[in-house]
Structure 1
């Protein structure tokens, strides 16, 4: 009774917020699987799950997310329908999914109720805490408990998350602690022959990388390199500017103000033994430099622009990471790294210099890089478990 009242009140409120959805691509043939992410961070492990389901099981996969996501071949990406009865019915009439997998804990009552009424098997993965769609929270009696009771499996990140789902109404038989699903590898490619040649050229020199460095942070990186050179006079700084146009002005500045020997990749120069700074204008080559630099500073994280690169890129390739307080679009990834003590946070240019000096010790950098690699590569067993559950549900529906 309470659930029906809560759902009715929710639908009445939704009528004032109706907005039509856009056109949809044709539905592919086959037993379609539907994955829903509340945001880009949650979409990453779902994209890996979807790619594996498409490749290993041969099923078409629809991924819905309200935020724009990088397209992945083999998956259908769509925004979710607006939370009105008419729109969710049109969405389900078109796609006819057999299984719906929701991430983290966002609940869309209109969509979930209609899917359950049509016999769609519902699962929840990477569960953090149950909550209604942002902007639609309110007093809906019995609604959350009723919706959570419709999920046959609720797989949470940890025990505190499991307790939150049980208290909110998840079935005791459904709620299980599973951990985090894996994400698609963030490891960027490079040419192995070139990496090997540069590794021989650099030999045993200590190296650090400033990845996608904005102009606003050049002073901090210059000061950190100057301080670190006092401890390791053979230290090489590799800079990938955020703006490639800064390559020549930055090289001239470092030469004029610091007296450093600077080489530029754009001029076909190499980092010979006398080179103290090597400037690379092409961010597409970061996969090469992450592999060669035991320590990386994530550019943009000290200034208002925010961290410019996914921290998992460097973590996946064995570079110890330093970053400032501005996470940009990568807050979730940095939080995961910090939870595993796999990155060093600094609040200022002075702290950047201190952190760099500390990580010049090879054992310290290697330990941090190993912890970061574990974070970047974990979750495969959880994804295997989710795939097995989905396959079992599909078999039971035959």
Structure 2
């Protein structure tokens, strides 16, 4: 397909704005010998990306060799990625810089994510015979101005595979010019459940000590919310006098000050984990100020309030609680976990609250085992659905990688046919629009 005049003009206009030159990727100097996937990230790192990379390196695909992944980031971004991922600075979006980058790294596949299609990259990858896929795709919200006719259609039709995040996105992309035969729907990949470790013998001993008392957990409790949580606990105690609060301070150094608030201002009997004290029957609040035991507290507490979510932002991911069967209560301030909270809320898997009185009422209501169990069940289903989508997506990406020559000596004709097509591998069975 010849590129339309609008795309040529658009490439010329964007090239003039791109900064010349580029930075050599940090880290390893040589291209890996095996399959290489390039993932250029225009913005931040999607929370699901580390899991997707892990699934890719385990996915049964067209190659036995484990693919390596090269991630490029803009500016001085400091990524949080698995240690075996190659990380580089993104090349400027000009044709010569992209060409040099592709010649330097020779990726077998380019995988785009986000809501922007980099025209220079797609143009140069197509010229070099490198397949470009777009995952978690939705209609672009920016770029590709209307004064350059045909740009978006040309870019969409240059992609070997478009994995739409849902049916509505797939329909919208078809209307914009994407080829129906290259659109798949795998579901949006999401951050997966975080199963924190705990010692089962310790859980059994603690559970026997607690004697089936109702328990709720304040996880990652910041100083600004200490009084709010204590007020909520006091209110909930009126409904359930045996209720135990397990408070995990965000800063363990706050343990003594928090204990003083509980004992002096509230008149409660308090025990502290770091002092080897136990939550006996008369204890109303237990301060868990030791490191590395969050898995134990989530497992013991049927209800978890995500600390910070009423003020400056949740300190911990709600998927920690979801993975260990604790019902999630949270305020409106989600911090870095916004997308995860929204997804769980849409699945009716959390109890949102807006104030300390609402927190107290929520705890009192969720003491009923069936109510807490319904929330935790929905949270588990919503969080594991992301893992299934990630599995499907990893299989689609892996299928586009070249097969080792030794495994395909008798299939050279098929390999030549695949190489001549829009991508280097056939997509999996397509979901009907």
Instruction: Provide TM-score, normalisation by structure 1.
Output: 0.90
1:29 aligns with 2:39: no
SS in 2 for 1:227: helix
SS in 1 for 2:180: coil
1:93 aligns with 2:103: yes
Whole-angstrom CA distance in 2 between matches of 1:324 and 1:285: 24
Counterparts of 1:1-398 in structure 2, within 5 Å, are: 3-18=4-19, 21-24=22-25, 25-26=28-29, 27-40=31-44, 42=46, 44-56=47-59, 57=64, 58-66=66-74, 67-132=77-142, 139-181=147-189, 183-282=191-290, 284-303=292-311, 305-394=312-401, 395=403, 396-397=418-419
Alignment deviations for residues 2-33 of structure 1 (CA, whole Å, 9 cap, x no partner): 84434433443443341754431322211112
Compared CA separation, residues 2 and 195, structure 1 to 2 (3 A): same
Contact in 2 for aligned 1:211/1:298 (Cα 8 Å): yes
Compared CA separation, residues 65 and 190, structure 1 to 2 (3 A): farther
Range with bigger deviation, 368-377 or 261-270: 261-270
Alignment deviations for residues 121-161 of structure 1 (CA, whole Å, 9 cap, x no partner): 1222222333446xx86754322221111222212222111
Compared CA separation, residues 385 and 51, structure 1 to 2 (3 A): same
Comparing both chains, which one has the higher relative contact order based on Cα–Cα distances under 8 Å and sequence gaps of 6 or more? 2
Whole-angstrom CA distance in 1 between matches of 2:125 and 2:132: 8
The number of equivalent residue pairs is 394
Alpha-carbon distance, 1:36 to partner = 4.1
Compared CA separation, residues 181 and 268, structure 1 to 2 (3 A): same
Alignment deviations for residues 199-242 of structure 1 (CA, whole Å, 9 cap, x no partner): 22223111111111111111211111001111111111111112
Flag the structure with larger Rg.
Answer: 2
Structure 2 gap ranges (5+)? 404-417, 425-433
Whole-angstrom CA distance in 2 between matches of 1:149 and 1:16: 25
Alpha-carbon distance, 1:65 to partner = 4.4
Whole-angstrom CA distance in 2 between matches of 1:68 and 1:4: 38
Whole-angstrom CA distance in 1 between matches of 2:20 and 2:310: 39
Contact in 2 for aligned 1:41/1:332 (Cα 8 Å): no
Alignment deviations for residues 228-278 of structure 1 (CA, whole Å, 9 cap, x no partner): 111111111111112222111011011001111111112122222221111
Contact in 2 for aligned 1:301/1:327 (Cα 8 Å): yes
Contact in 1 for aligned 2:10/2:151 (Cα 8 Å): no
2:415 paired residue number? none
SS in 1 for 2:343: helix
Whole-angstrom CA distance in 1 between matches of 2:359 and 2:80: 32
Structure 1 gap ranges (5+)? none
CA RMSD of aligned residues (A): 2.4
Contact in 2 for aligned 1:318/1:373 (Cα 8 Å): yes
Compared CA separation, residues 159 and 385, structure 1 to 2 (3 A): same
Contact in 2 for aligned 1:63/1:76 (Cα 8 Å): yes
Whole-angstrom CA distance in 2 between matches of 1:160 and 1:382: 17
